[in-house]
Amino acid sequence: MIGRKNLGVSSFLLVLLALGFFFATYNLLTMVIQNKAADEIGKLNPLTQMPEKTGGGNSGMRFHVALTATDAIYSQWQSRIMYYWYKKVKDMPRSDMGKFTRILHSGKADNLMDEIPSFVVDPLPEGLDRGYIVLNRPWAFVQWLEKATIEEEYILMAEPDHIFVKPLPNLAQGNHPAGFPFFYIKPAEHEKIIRKFYPEEMGPVTNVDPIGNSPVIIKKVYLLEEISPTWLNVSLRMKDDHETDKQFGWVLEMYAYAVASALHGVRHILRKDFMLQPPWDPEVGKRFILHYTYGCDYNLKGELTYGKIGEWRFDKRSFLNGPPPKNLSLPPPGVPESVVRLVKMVNEATANIPGWDTVTRG
């Protein structure tokens, strides 16, 4: 459980840090969130350690599935596939999956509102994301948590390019969220930069987990509701810092979530079985989510040609302006099971989603 004692200097410093983030960013955003961020931040102990037990989780405690998305065709077709597989596995045995929301941060409704449960929020003011659209993610969660009615006590933060390969139980344990350890998120190797946002007085840099915000299953009250405004502010501060922006690049917002969680004393249970990422993970095994962020390029011998366009390939970026066609060709013999499974799952979804070839081209 997150401690609420031994506050002393650490709590006072945490409050000062939160106020520093507040004044360092933009009044247009922080006027909406300042009261919520300030009220509870001092109640959290920044030195809380990971629980020793890492199995089981909150079985039977349902979580709300939430993903952030835009109205771009590229985001739409991925969201449709994701929602198809959510519906297919949601009510299977061992599932703790509750309701579903696509948090649409385009500021207006789109043509999928009747197909996918959606909640429209505003994007960041024009120019504030500086071409890094992912900065809208924490701002979207701040607005959704503030305005929406969410029945479940826990929330799964997901992304459009996630596919549920099996029913997902609640992997969190009380106030300890469950997250996926990314091999490329390495706070200790970037301690100089991390210390700009997480000073030494807060504790060792190892308190910053090697995660992003997704996939994460986290308690809504006192955790995500409190972390989200800090996550937004840290993201904007990181983007404003040239050294940090250059070093972290496209994973900047992931580091911002990890730092924001550490500032609130929140440690994540690291679950490698949470997700697989073809082609680097060759087998599905016991994992729950398939993340197809990487291109899969192979020659006809079934050999990976990563970095070079293969004779056979599947890469979501090949479909920036329209959805993938139905009945994609399967990989050649010798390609890992995870890649074959990915293509088969995409094919099943596109074959069964009504209006696949028309809705996402409109």
Domains of the chain, earliest start first: 63-270 (3.90.550.10)
Which one is predicted more confidently, 68 or 51?
68
Query: Rounded mean pLDDT of 63-91?
Result: 98
Q: How confident is the model at residue 357 (pLDDT cuts 50, 70, 90)?
A: confident
Cα separation, 62 vs 25, whole angstroms: 35
7 has pLDDT over 80: no
Is residue 109 scored above 70 in pLDDT?
Answer: yes
Q: What is the pLDDT of residues 160-210, one digit of tens each?
A: 999 999 999 999 999 999 999 999 999 999 999 999 999 999 999 999 999
Calculate mean pLDDT across residues 324-337: 98
The tens digit of pLDDT for each residue in 219-237 reads 999 999 999 999 999 999 9
CA distances 229 to 4, 278, 328, Å, are: 20, 33, 42
How many Cβ atoms are within 10 Å of 53's Cβ, its own excluded?
10
Nearest to 175 by CA among 122, 140, 219: 219
Instruction: Give 10-58 pLDDT, tens digit per residue.
Output: 444 444 444 444 434 433 344 333 333 333 323 333 223 333 334 556 6
pLDDT at position 57? 65
Q: What percent of the chain has pLDDT above 90?
A: 80
Residue of 278, 257, 201 whose CA lies nearest to 12: 201
Sequence-distant (6+) residues with CB within 8 A of 143 are 32, 121, 122
Please give the full DSSP string across 264-330, using - where no structure is assigned.
TT--PEE-GGGEE-TTTS---TT-SEEE--S-EEE-TTS-B-TTS--SEEE-GGGGSSSPPPSSPPP
Q: Is 131 left (phi over 0), alpha (psi -120 to 50) or beta?
A: left
Residue bearing the bigger pLDDT, 126 or 342: 342
Kindly report, residue by residue over 263-313, the tens digit of the pLDDT.
999 999 999 999 999 999 999 999 999 999 999 999 999 999 988 999 999
pLDDT of residue 358: 78
Min mean pLDDT across 8-22, 65-79, 123-137 is at: 8-22
Distance CA 310, CA 241 (A): 38
**pTM of the shown model:** 0.85
- Whole-angstrom distance, CA of residue 164 vs CA of residue 29: 34
**Mean pLDDT, the chain, whole residue set:** 87
Burial label for 219, CB within 10 Å (0-12, 13-18, 19+), is: buried
